[in-house]
Amino acid sequence: MNNIFARFTHIILIALLSGSLLVSGQNRQQNRYQNRGQHQQRGNSNAGLTIICSFSDFATIAERIAGSHANVQSIAHGEQDPHFVPPKPSYAMMLSDADLWITTGMDLEGWSTTLLDKARNKQIMDGEIGFVAVSDGVNVLQKVEKADRTEGDVHLMGNPHINTGPINWKIIATNITTGLIKVDPANASDYQSNLEAFTDQVDREMFGDELVDIFGGEMLSRLLENRTLFTFLDNEYQGEKLTVKLGGWQKQMEPFRGKKIVAYHKNWIYFTETFGLEVIGYIEPKPGIPPSAKHVQKMIQIIEDQNINLMLVASYFEKNSARMIEEKTGIKALFLPLFVGGIPEVTDNFQLVDYWIDQIATNIQ
Amino acid sequence: MVDEVYMEWLNLPLNMNLKAGVFKSEFGFLNRFHDHALPQFDRPRVLINMFGTGGLGGAGLETNFLLPPVIAHASSLDISVVYGSNPQSFSSETEAGFVFTSQFLNYYDLSASSYLEIRLSGAAGKNDLPVGEFNSYVGSAGIAYKWAPVGREKYRSLEWKTEFLYGLREYAGGSYKSKGFYSNIHNKLGARFWLGGRIGYSELPYDPSQSEWDYTISIDFWQSEFVLTRFQYQYNNRNIVNRIEIPGPYPSDHSFIIQVAWAMGPHKHEAY
């Protein structure tokens, strides 16, 4: 028996020693091993920085700002529910090699804490130089007044689906730029100029060239956020109303301002606020709670009473409830990708909003 | 009852995380699980027979090393020492009654929607039955497969876990060699419903001539992410006449269990 005991002791010692040797041989900066998992990779694989983003929307913005200086990857797939991304060990390996971790910074990515704990990368922990919370400075909507589970799966810091509001992208991009400059100050001027170009594109897509050339995107964005843009555009300028000069997404969505719709989950609020749609009810009785038959019946009644004809549903949700309501009321259930890559043809944020608006304009009556 | 109280230091030298306190050791797939998070109401019989109903754990230290992914997409090594006896395999309560464990985990992404995981675990400690101080060892090899289609994880998934355990328990006149296994399937049928099944076999580590089979089927209903109601049927086919600390008799039995569990706090994202 002593022999057996000695053998087991040897096994444990060998395991300890080999483990120590393996880990001590690992130099994170000099020996960057490649993750072979199924993640979303984009950008320049030979670039200097490695940026990992929680979502593809942040990744496409990071790619614009970082340009050729970074290899950008995202963890969640575009068609995935952002609340329920499985924290796989291979994702922790991605993070172990990251110079920058870009996340919403609210409580949407609850799964990311597990990954950060396992990643062994001090630089990207919350509060460190490589941690970027893109929601810093965003005007967060739907902050909770009652934080308990009787309200469903509420987010304590407010609605975290900030990616659906294009005006927020400018703040997201600014936060990413700040993070990039911190970890790579040598290329700060490139990041700043890329930020300016990106911000200008957001403004022009949002309001059209004419208004942006006259007033600048910052002022127009502020008016929009204060809900005074269209009052302002009622004024005359050089003999005609400013509304005539409106272009971009706001022009496309102008006919639908004030229109009442329903949604499956509270993930469209930044979009609907931006474009003046009014969400009067949700298919989920409370966030994260699947719809009961009683609640579905109640929603059918509301839809019929108020003659609602459009329902927005992020495409990762189950389709049965929405389709059943569609059949009973004639409402159009519009299943839309919530993120870049949610459908193959949408490869950046601008295409995503183009797609949303095209679909809404086609289906809203 | 508080199951675990510990502090964890992250990002230490040598790619190490260090845990100190009272905790359940990393051993196989289910030892770390708290009761409410198990795929069935109870632990597989082989784990109960090897480590008791509370699992393998106690007060001590545990290190976790993230290894270079040489043979897998992610690999890690856990090593722990705990002071926590159980009446089954590690019954010594003397100062020599520490239990040492190690686990080598290898994870493989098969596709965006599926993965494979292989765990090799070992535990070494002392037993003091009937009288004296003798060595006890338990080793385990486990394999898990999970399929959860990207974008539909909330509504569909299939998870299969199988673990084989082998125990060697010395005594004054020789050693007992016991073995057992469990195989568990958990199938998510929709946002609210899961169907589960388990089969297992186990020999008692202090008398391998006594053994039992268990067959389990369960249906879970999740009212939300935080409230679970489970209905479980179980058949235990026992060949057991005498057990430590549990008075007999030990007939084969059928049981029907209703379990209700609810939780507070933020999202639960422990499992992958």
pLDDT at A36 > cutoff 50: no
Whether A108 and A81 have beta carbons less than 8 Å apart is answered as: no
How far, in Å, are A233, A261, B14 from residue A251 at the CA level?
12, 19, 57
Within 8 A of B65 by CB-CB distance, chain A residues are: 19-20, 22-23
Query: What is the percent of chain A with per-residue pLDDT over 90, rounded to a whole number?
Result: 76
Closest by CA to B143, choosing from B158, B164, B167, B112, is: B164
Residue B2 falls within a domain, yes or no?
Answer: no
Q: Is A37 within 8 Å of B73 when comparing Cβ atoms?
A: yes
**Beta-carbon count within 10 A of B217 CB:** 16
Token code pair at residue B42: 């109870």
Which residues between 290 and 319 in chain A have a beta carbon less than 8 angstroms from any beta carbon of chain B? 290, 315-318
Residue B1 falls within a domain, yes or no?
Answer: no
The CA angle A324-A330-A331, to the nearest 5 degrees, is 85
Residue B112 falls within a domain, yes or no?
Answer: yes
Task: Write the CATH number of the domain with boundaries A40-199.
Answer: 3.40.50.1980
- Give A19→chain B minimum CA distance, Å: 7
How far, in Å, are A272, A350, B131 from residue B92 at the CA level?
65, 66, 10
Range(s) of the domain holding residue B75? 7-262
Confidence of residue A304 (pLDDT cuts 50, 70, 90): very high
pLDDT at A163 > cutoff 70: yes
Report the CATH number that the domain containing residue B67 is assigned in CATH: 2.40.160.10
Q: Is B150 within 8 Å of A290 when comparing Cβ atoms?
A: no
Closest by CA to B78, choosing from B115, B116, B34, B32, is: B32
pLDDT at A133 > cutoff 70: yes
Chain A contact for B175 (CB, 8 A cutoff): yes
Residue ranges of domains in chain A: 40-199, 231-363
CATH 3.55.50.30 fits A231-363, yes or no: no
Confidence (pLDDT) at A22: 43
Residue B41 falls within a domain, yes or no?
Answer: yes
Residue B272 falls within a domain, yes or no?
Answer: no
Confidence (pLDDT) at A24: 37
Average pLDDT over residues A293-314: 94
Q: Same CATH topology for A40-199 and A231-363?
A: yes
Query: What is the percent of chain A with per-residue pLDDT over 70, rounded to a whole number?
Result: 86
Pick from B69, B111, B150: CB nearest A33: B69
Confidence of residue A32 (pLDDT cuts 50, 70, 90): very low
Question: Which of the residues B25, B192, B267 would you substitute to probe the A interface, choosing the one with the greatest number of A C-beta atoms within 10 Å?
Answer: B267
Whether A58 and A102 have beta carbons less than 8 Å apart is answered as: yes
For residue A352, the one-letter residue type is: L
Task: Provide the residue count of chain A.
Answer: 365
> Nearest-CA residue of chain B relative to A110?
B267
pLDDT at A211 > cutoff 90: yes
Confidence (pLDDT) at B243: 86
Which residues between 5 and 34 in chain B have a beta carbon less than 8 angstroms from any beta carbon of chain A? 8, 10-11, 14-17
Whether A324 and A293 have beta carbons less than 8 Å apart is answered as: no
Q: Is B109 within 8 Å of A37 when comparing Cβ atoms?
A: yes
Confidence of residue A149 (pLDDT cuts 50, 70, 90): low
Confidence of residue A21 (pLDDT cuts 50, 70, 90): very low
Average pLDDT over residues A286-297: 86
> Nearest-CA residue of chain A relative to B173?
A1
pLDDT at A8 > cutoff 60: no
Q: Is A35 within 8 Å of B148 when comparing Cβ atoms?
A: no
Q: What's the mean per-residue pLDDT of chain A?
A: 87
3-state helix, strand, coil in chain B (%, to 5): 5, 60, 35
Domains held by chain B: number: 1
Confidence (pLDDT) at A246: 96
pLDDT at A29 > cutoff 70: no
Give the whole-angstrom CA distance, residue A188 versus residue A191: 5
Closest by CA to B178, choosing from B138, B236, B128, is: B138
Q: What is the mean pLDDT of each run of 10 residues along chain B (272 residues)?
A: 90 94 96 91 95 92 93 96 87 80 97 97 89 91 97 93 97 94 96 95 95 98 88 96 83 96 66 71
Q: Which of A19-28, A288-297, B158-167 is predicted with the least confidence, judged by mean pLDDT?
A: A19-28
Q: What are the pLDDT digits (tens) for A323-338?
A: 999 999 999 999 999 9
Confidence (pLDDT) at A47: 67
Within 8 A of B152 by CB-CB distance, chain A residues are: 316
Confidence of residue A155 (pLDDT cuts 50, 70, 90): confident
pLDDT at A12 > cutoff 60: no
Q: Which of A23-37, A91-105, A166-180 is predicted with the least confidence, judged by mean pLDDT?
A: A23-37
Average pLDDT over residues A221-228: 95
Q: Could you please report the per-residue DSSP string of B204-217? A: ETTEEEEEEEEEEE
Give the whole-angstrom CA distance, residue A347 versus residue A61: 11
Confidence (pLDDT) at A10: 47
Q: Is A26 within 8 Å of B68 when comparing Cβ atoms?
A: yes
pLDDT at A33 > cutoff 90: no
Confidence (pLDDT) at A44: 55
Residue B238 falls within a domain, yes or no?
Answer: yes
Chain B contact for A90 (CB, 8 A cutoff): yes
